Each structure stands twice: as structure tokens, then as C-alpha cells.
Amino acid sequence: MNALFKRRSIRKYIDKEVSDADLELLLKAAMCAPSAGNEQPWEFIVVRDREIMKRVSEFHPYSKMLHQASAAIVVCGNRSRQVYDRDYWQLDCSAATQNILIQATDMKIGSVWLAVYPEPDRIKGAKKLFGLPEEVIPLAIVSLGYPQEEKKMADRFKQERIHYNIWGGKKGME
Ligand SMILES: Cc1cc2nc3c(=O)[nH]c(=O)nc-3n(C[C@H](O)[C@H](O)[C@H](O)COP(=O)(O)O)c2cc1C
């Protein structure tokens, strides 16, 4: 079974460092993501500093796992790197974030996506904490560490969410 199906949010970690080489591989996975017009508007901040990770809790109510995490990656969109004059950066950066989660699972590293965008207070807090320039917007923080919890694969497949040819179309009608 591939990593995509095994991925779960892991919020408890053992005291073992995720190496710099492993972080680099996660970032390579992130930058493999598809993006609109291949614009690749992402920027990443690798955070190791425990004090900075703890300070995320000042503006993010669901980020306590960062007190234990080995590292975090802040995924940001740089509006000035956009090809089109529409915002695709959220979509591009979401694809990059998901790539990090799947690659981490493959490497037996626990991870969880912490939403920053579109919460105004979290965006403001993250911009200040990480010193982001005006045109750079934080999308997510990925918390990383070796798991201290095991989670079963989640089966979320729902046949009724699939429509064939038109809304409500049943299989076999095509
Ligand atoms: C856009 C997005 C934002 C999320 N934000 C948070 C968050 O702020 N804190 C957190 O602990 N989990 C967060 N999660 C993780 C979800 O709670 C989790 O993916 C969901 O409950 C399904 O569980 P699973 O990831 O184990 O399959 C977020 C996930 C997504 C996709």
C-alpha cells in the first residue's frame, strides 16, 4: 500500500531529530508539485528553533504539537512569482504541502498540516513571527517528527459522492 493511503495526521512525537538531509528530501517533494502555468510560487521556511515553534501557539490555537516537533516547514505563497493575475498560489502551495505529507509518510516521519491561510489572525501572526515580506503569504505550517502514536489507515471512500456523467448519474448509466 503506498504512502498516500497510509498518511494520517501525527501530533505526538518521540525525541528524535529529523535530519537536515530528510528535510531536504521533503522540500524536493514539495517542489515536485504541479502548479498553474508551472508558476511555482512557493517559498519555504524551515524552522528548527524551539522558541519560534512554541510562539506559533500565540496566534494559532491548534498548534501545540509544535512544542514537541523536531522541525516545521512553513509553506508560503509569493504573489510576485505568479504568472497569471489571478490567485492560484493557494492551490499550488496546497499541492506542495500535500506532497510534503505524503513524502514524510513514506519516510516514516509523522506530519500534520496546520492551516494558516485563510485565517486573518494566523496570517498576521505568522507574517510577524517569520518576518515575511508583504507579497509573501503563509499558507500552512507542517509539523514534523518521528511518531509517538500509531494511526490506522482511514477508509473514507464513499461511492455516493461519485456522480457519473452528470450530477446524480449512476454507474452503468453511461
Ligand atoms: C487545510 C487543513 C488545515 C488543517 N489545520 C489543522 C490545524 O490547524 N491543526 C491540526 O491539528 N490539524 C489540522 N489539520 C489536520 C486535519 O485535522 C486532519 O487532516 C483531519 O482531521 C483528517 O485526519 P488525518 O489527517 O489523520 O487523515 C488540517 C488539515 C487540512 C487539510
What is the set of domains in the chain, with CATH numbers?
3-161 (3.40.109.10)
Residue 143: strand, helix, or coil: strand
Of all protein residues, whose CA lies closest to atom 29 belonging to ligand 1?
113
Residues 76 and 135 sit within 8 Å (Cβ to Cβ): no
Indicate the helix (H) or strand (E) that contains 138: strand 136-145
Q: What is the mean pLDDT of residues 63-67?
A: 98
Give 99 Cα–ligand 1 centroid separation in angstroms. 15
Residues 144 and 69 sit within 8 Å (Cβ to Cβ): yes
Around Cβ 174, how many Cβ atoms within 10 Å?
Answer: 8
Predicted TM-score (pTM) of the model is: 0.97
How far is the C-alpha of 104 from the C-alpha of 126, rounded, in Å? 23
Is the model's pLDDT at 167 over the cut of 70?
yes
Q: What is the mean pLDDT of residues 93-102?
A: 98
Q: Identify the DSSP state of 160.
A: G
Q: Which of 145, 142, 155, 153 is nearest to 108 (CA)?
A: 145
How far is the C-alpha of 24 from the C-alpha of 33, rounded, in Å? 15
Q: What is the mean pLDDT of residues 49-63?
A: 98
Give 169 Cα–ligand 1 centroid separation in angstroms. 31
Is the model's pLDDT at 1 over the cut of 70?
no
How far is the C-alpha of 73 from the C-alpha of 46, rounded, in Å? 5
Q: Best of 6, 8, 9 to mutate for ligand 1, by most ligand atoms within 8 A of CB? A: 9
Can you state the angle between helices 89-106 and 20-30, rounded to 10 degrees?
Answer: 140
Indicate the helix (H) or strand (E) that contains 20: helix 20-30
pLDDT of residue 174: 53
- Tell me whether strands 110-115 and 136-145 are parallel, antiparallel or unpaired: antiparallel
Residues contacting 37, CB < 8 A, separation 6+:
83, 84, 88
Q: Please give the single-letter amino acid code of residue 78.
A: N
Q: What is the mean pLDDT of residues 55-68?
A: 98
